[in-house]
């Protein structure tokens, strides 16, 4: 099994629908992140969490929310999806004292 697992891997939805992307990890890392990747823009940070009680907004948090249900689980929600949220979403984890991230395989979301 992968160290960082994202579900679903692919999702097509319609404008206005609520979507949840889930991430779970087996690395025992405290830090978890959600990024989105768009062509030509690189990865942009949506939200990050340093432990279960710590949630922080990243550079593009508008239209998104997150929940850190446990140390191993960090989910991203789009309350009312819009087409410009069509992107590849990555969850990542980082261990304490280290800046190296381990990424999940990505969730490709298409909003029609």
Partner 1 sequence: RKEVEQDPGPFNVPEGATVAFNCTYSNSASQSFFWYRQDCRKEPKLLMSVYSSGNEDGRFTAQLNRASQYISLLIRDSKLSDSATYLCVVNGYNDYKLSFGAGTTVTVRA
**Among residues 45, 52, 55, 60, the one that binds partner 1 under rule CB under 8 A:** 45
Q: How far is CA 65 from CA 55, 61, 78, 98, 107, in A?
A: 10, 7, 7, 26, 16
Q: Among residues 73 and 103, whose Cβ is nearest to partner 1?
A: 103
Going by C-beta distance under 8 Å and a sequence separation of 6 or more, which residues neighbour residue 60?
Answer: 36, 44, 45, 46
- State the number of binding residues for partner 1 (CB under 8 A): 22
Least Å distance, CB 14 to partner 1, is 23
Nearest distance from C-beta of residue 18 to partner 1, angstroms: 25
- Single out the segment in contact with partner 1 by CB under 8 A; choices: 14-22, 64-72, 74-82, 100-108: 100-108
Q: Which two tokens stand for residue 81?
A: 């999806």
Asked if 63 is part of the footprint of partner 1 (rule: CB under 8 A), the reply reads no
Preceding amide of 8 cis, omega within 30: yes
77 binds partner 1 (CB under 8 A): no
- Contact indicator for 9, 22 with CB cutoff of 8 Å: no
Q: Which residues bind partner 1 (CB under 8 A)?
A: 31, 35, 40-45, 48, 50, 58, 88, 90, 94, 99-101, 103-106, 108
């Amino acid at each position: 099994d992968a160290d960082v697992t994202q579900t679903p891997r692919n999702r097509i939805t319609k404008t206005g629908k609520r979507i949840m992307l889930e991430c779970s990890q087996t690395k025992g890392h405290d830090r978890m992140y959600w990024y989105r990747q768009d062509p030509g823009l690189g990865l942009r940070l949506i939200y990050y969490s340093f432990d279960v009680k710590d949630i922080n907004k990243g550079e593009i948090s508008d239209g998104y929310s997150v929940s850190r249900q446990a140390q191993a689980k960090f989910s991203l929600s789009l309350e009312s999806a819009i087409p410009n949220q069509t992107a590849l979403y990555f969850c990542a984890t980082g261990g304490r004292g280290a800046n190296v991230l381990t990424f999940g395989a990505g969730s490709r979301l298409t909003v029609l």
